[in-house]
Amino acid sequence: MIDRLIEKIKQTDNPSVVGLDTNFDYLPDELRAGVADLRGAAQAIAEFNRNVIDNICDIVPAVKVQIAYYEMYGVEGMKTFAETLAYASKKGMYVMTDAKRNDIGATAECYAKAYLGKTFVNGASETAFDSDFLTVNGYLGSDGIVPFLKWMKECDKGIFVLVKTSNPSSGELQDMRLSDGKTVYEYMGQWVEAWGKNCRGKYGYSDVGAVVGATHPAQAEILRKQMPHTFFLIPGYGAQGGTARDLKVCFDADGMGGIVNSSRGILCAYRQEKYNGKSYSEAARLASIDMKNDLNQAIKG
Ligand SMILES: O=c1ccn([C@@H]2O[C@H](COP(=O)(O)O)[C@@H](O)[C@H]2O)c(=O)[nH]1
């Protein structure tokens, strides 16, 4: 799976993923007008997502759909979540579900079936939520990861395991030094390399990727050196303050090895003065092009 994502990144010359963290409050007035319940909100979000996808699908390789923004609209929100995955996929984009799932092995198996594999009902199988990649929390250890590895291989999918997250307080635990001087995030990085050992593709990267925030460049630089076979999903660009220069360290000498997420920076671009007068979907396209150029200049320049 990672090879196919890498090929799409090469084909679009764009190492970015648009985050569909579609909060109803981000929608323009015309989509919000008259809506007063979860169902209406979920339907408006679905329309917004379709229009954004239509406007970026030829230039952006992937979308990352953050499940929290759909869960909060209940069952109707989850229908929009599923519809959005399917729509982006139909338009040729790779689809990442950002749900940061895990649990004890038996429960992790259910999550793996739900987002990467198949659910069996009396011997018949069906896909519940069809995504190409899922974000996973590795901090429960190997028995929680094994089911994801199994289903990933079975269905040619991938995962991104949290290693060094972009939030300001991620260091409270992740940067702690253990008795040998190594940090917790470095240990997690080692585990991720090991989990991906048997699923490396032709570009040398494995289907087990890592989430590494753009907002912590010093730690990202260490991780890139220690994790030569691990592809990074890099959140924190734009709205959280991470810059293209900061995240350059996440990429290898060939300018490969990562994909950078922006959610609010794209979805809410139409509210920026720079894109004044543009519709939300036109602004999303222009902001995606600006992001691509900004990243390529920093990574390859
Ligand atoms: O360490 C992490 C892991 C995940 N995220 C997610 O990425 C996006 C970021 O959104 P922006 O609006 O571009 O800031 C969001 O879905 C987070 O849940 C992260 O930010 N950091």
Which pLDDT value is given to residue 222? 98
Nearest atom, ligand 1, residue 239 CA: 14
Which pLDDT value is given to residue 176? 98
Cα 143 to ligand 1 centre (Å): 26
Contact 15, 258 (CB under 8 A): yes
Which pLDDT value is given to residue 94? 98
Which pLDDT value is given to residue 60? 98
Which pLDDT value is given to residue 193? 98
The total number of structural domains that make up the chain: 1
Q: State pTM to two decimals.
A: 0.98
Cα 259 to ligand 1 centre (Å): 13
User: What angle in degrees, to the nearest 10, is found between the helix axes of 142-155 and 105-115?
Assistant: 30
Mean pLDDT, to the nearest integer, of 55-70?
Answer: 98
Q: How far is CA 298 from the centre of its chain?
A: 21
Confidence of residue 101 (pLDDT cuts 50, 70, 90): very high
Q: ipTM score of the complex?
A: 0.99
Supply the residues annotated as catalytic.
Answer: 100
Nearest CA to ligand 1 atom 3: 165
Nearest CA to ligand 1 atom 4: 235
Ligand 1, residues at Cβ distance < 6 Å: 19, 21, 66, 98, 165-166, 211, 213, 235-236, 238-240, 261-265
Confidence of residue 134 (pLDDT cuts 50, 70, 90): very high
Cα 235 to ligand 1 centre (Å): 5
CA distance 203 to 9: 13
Which pLDDT value is given to residue 301? 81
Q: Average pLDDT, whole number, for the chain?
A: 97
pLDDT digits (tens, 9 = 90+) for 205-235: 999 999 999 999 999 999 999 999 999 999 9
Cα 236 to ligand 1 centre (Å): 6
CA proximity to 208, closest of 165, 267, 164, 149:
149
How far is residue 285 from each of residues 57, 112, 178, 270, measured CA to CA in Å? Answer: 9, 32, 45, 10
What CATH number does the domain containing 261 carry?
3.20.20.70
Which pLDDT value is given to residue 128? 97
Hey, which bits of 219-274 come out as E strands? 232-234, 258-262
Residue 33 has pLDDT above 90, yes or no: yes
Share of the chain above pLDDT 90, in %: 100
Mean pLDDT, to the nearest integer, of 45-72?
Answer: 98
How far is residue 51 from each of residues 88, 109, 117, 267, measured CA to CA in Å? Answer: 11, 34, 28, 11
Domain that holds residue 185: 2-300
Nearest CA to ligand 1 atom 1: 165
pLDDT digits (tens, 9 = 90+) for 163-207: 999 999 999 999 999 999 999 999 999 999 999 999 999 999 999
CA distance 291 to 247: 13
Which pLDDT value is given to residue 271? 98
